[in-house]
Chains A and B, each alone.
Chain A
Amino acid sequence: MAVYVIKRIVVSIMTLLLIMCITFLLMNAIPGSPFLTEKSTPEMIERANAKYGLDKPLYVQLFNYVKNYARGDLGTSLKMQEGTSVSTILFGQGKFELSIKLGVISLLLAVIVGIPLGCIAAYNRGKWVDGFLRVMTTVGVAVPTFVLAGLLLIGFAVNLHWLPTKSNSLPDFKSYVMPVISLSFYYTCYVAKLTRTSMLDAINQDYIRTARAKGVKTRMLILKHALRNSLIPVITYLGPVMAGIITGSFVVESTFSIPGLGKYFVQSVLNRDYPVIMATTVILSALVIFMNLVVDIAYKIVDPRITLTGKED
């Protein structure tokens, strides 16, 4: 187990380094200089380049990034006021917390609501409950985040005036409702679909028949015996869910005017603020990669049948 975990951590760090390289290369592939404005003279650009170390060879710049990141130094912004550090930009005023709060709540909601819905559907297979949930989940995975966000806005903010149109810094419970629902609905539906399918698979297994023959009640059968085995595909799916929620947060944060990390990423890309792009990419990627790592390890714990040698195929 320890060997496997270490191996996975090493692979994760490698992936993160790869992402840093790709991001770095892409950033530098954008033609022109980040300091190019209407007023700037060639000398000014040169001076700015020298100040921020952009005149050094690319590999030196990349190496500096990696070195500083390893020390926890995210660098200084090229575009904000003189010498504003990237960590102030990203972590100041609770931006990072805001995104994390939103993401974690949505993730939890997807799991806490999605899995029981899947169980209920499988338990009532063929009845109207199942039919209703099937229609709901099928439609749910066809609605893009921004469409749902927009529909909720029209319904609850514009027409009914129950909820605020702008969530700002998520001051109260009301402001959470729409962002969280629009962010998590797709994944709730997907998790429910996945749980239903794998639950039905599990129910047809021999050990379930044995348990039933032994007189285990149906409720217990579903909750204790079938659920454990049907959770495996759901756990595997949590990695992509994390990535998807981060993606969705870009849309949700701009739709509901939430000053979070996602908004800054899009902005920094458009502004060509290299250190901010790099920092946001690395932080968000690290989140996804960390989630994948957790999932992979959880996966082995939940299902001891899977070999721990690290060979996936």
Chain B
Amino acid sequence: MSGKFAKFSPFHVDPELIEGTFSLRPEDFDRADENEKAAMEQKRKSVSYWRDAWRRFRSNTVSMVALGVFIACLLFAFVGPALIPYDYADQYRSSQKLGPFEYSAGEATARSIAGSVDGFYATALQPGSLTSLPKGDYVIYHGGKTYAFTLDRAMENAILMLQTKAENPLFIVSESKIQKDGSWSDSKAISYTDTPADGAVEIRLSRNVFPHAFGTDSFGRDLMARTMYGTRVSIIIGIMAALIVLVIGATYGAISGLSGGAVDFVMMRIVELIYSIPEVLVVLLLQVVLKDPLRAWFDSSDSALVQSLSALGAGIISIFITFALLYWVTMARIVRGQVLQLKQQEYVTAATALGAGNGRIIRRHLLPNCVGSVVITTCLQIPSAIFLESFLSFLGLGVSAPMASLGSLCSDALETITLYPYRLLLPSIVLTIVILSLNLIGDGLRDSLDPRLKK
């Protein structure tokens, strides 16, 4: 240890360095002042798991577009019905079998006059088998004024119009007296008062004729309203089914994984058995089996819960039951796998060594670490539930008329495919878009919640 080696020896320490670094001065033990405290503070806030995941998700263009599309679908399904004047179950007798943006004769007449009056009431725009307005007392509220009048005989094949500026604001014109260009002759004025009679029926005036953008079906139901409603039903079924799978599968998997040993063995053999059953066969049987008992149950009980369930219909409830019975196994397997893996982690051992109880380990360590894959699996369960529901409805087993789902709309359309192909095309496209956007959101979630899996 001499000569030139001394300089590189690990044991050689420069005495001056020791002086500078290790010698302690009394002022080192003073309390830190504000500046020193500020210097110790973190420059950047730590990023939480969700914030980090959201950042990754946001930078994924495809998933963001898919999210946007899915939100648009949600608006279409949940806000849309409020914006259009048609209801999914209403039948317009004169408007059967219309193509997209086609108008029936009555609607076309009403449309032609729409520009020249402030409001009108045409029986052609009313649902049901109504072609005439029966005699009786009526009232119209328009522009802050009240128009109360009495029809002494039924108004048939005529349009009631309101022109606030005219000498006789309220008048009736026979449909046959209205020309193609919207001009009319032979208007019959109606006398009115501003105090409605007892039991007067309120009439809502139309400003214009809302187009049947998707056309109408053979019963004269507006297909856009039905598609909106069907999308809503399909999305609700998808989300509910995914939640059912989440609750049952995650609980089962967590119990199995946490218990381990014989319990785990038995529980997993059960999962394997259910897994190997071709579920669709059982689903079809279940659908038929459950229909009548469910109906009977709905009729017999009048508790609020049962009534709200019966509003959904027996078909949908049996879909939920099917999911609860058969479809949770994938989720259970995934959660069990995660729990088994996480149980072996050092930090869990450390927590156990520090005296943490089971509850704390589950809450603090296992749950937060499983949540990523659970969210992903749940999200991907939604489109597969929509798939199954549309399949069942297509076979005529899911939702029952007049309710609609995207599957049942497609199935109805298939009978008339040669004449009205758009009836199949439009719900099919919506269904595909919903499933596609959900799939892509799921993929994006997988990439952002669990970057290790990214391919």
Contact = CB atoms under 8 A, between A and B. Distances in A.
Interface of A: 12, 14-15, 18-19, 22-23, 26-27, 29-32, 138-139, 141-147, 150-151, 153-154, 158-159, 165, 197, 200-201, 243, 246-247, 250-251, 254-255, 265-266, 269-270, 272, 277, 280-281, 284-285, 288-289, 292, 312-313
Contacts, number: 129
B414 A255 contact: yes
A26 B289 contact: yes
B432 A142 contact: yes
A147 B436 contact: no
A288 B285 CA distance: 17
Contacts of A165: 417-418
Contact of B428 (A138, A147, A246): A147
Contacts of B130: none
A142 B432 CA distance: 6
Given A15-B276, A147-B432, A266 B395 contact: yes
B294 to A, nearest CB: 11
B18 interface: no
Contact of A150 (B272, B395, B413): B413
B455 A200 contact: yes
Given A150-B413, A158-B421, A285-B278, A144 B288 contact: no
Nearest to A288: B278
Contact of B284 (A19, A145, A265, A272): A265
Interface magnitude class on chain B: 35 or more
B298 interface: no
A142 B286 CA distance: 26
User: Majority SS of interface residues in chain B?
Assistant: helix
B277 interface: yes
A154 B425 contact: yes
Contact of A139 (B383, B394, B436): B436
Contact of A251 (B277, B292, B394): B394
User: Majority SS of interface residues in chain A?
Assistant: helix
B285 A269 contact: yes
B431 interface: yes
Given A26-B285, A289-B276, A254 B390 contact: no
B432 A143 contact: yes
A269 B287 CA distance: 10
Contacts of A19: 277-278, 281-282
A262 B285 CA distance: 13
B424 interface: yes
A147 B417 contact: no
A151 B435 contact: no
B391 A247 contact: yes
A246 B278 contact: yes
Contacts of B91: none
B410 A150 contact: yes
B284 A266 contact: yes
A251 B417 contact: no
Given A147-B432, A150-B413, A266-B395, A246 B280 contact: yes
Interface string B193-204: 000000000000
Nearest to A277: B285
B285 A251 contact: no
Contacts of B329: none
Contacts of B390: 144, 146
Interface string B136-147: 000000000000
Given A142-B436, A142-B439, A150-B410, A23 B455 contact: no
Nearest to A146: B394
B286 A150 contact: no
Contacts of A292: 276
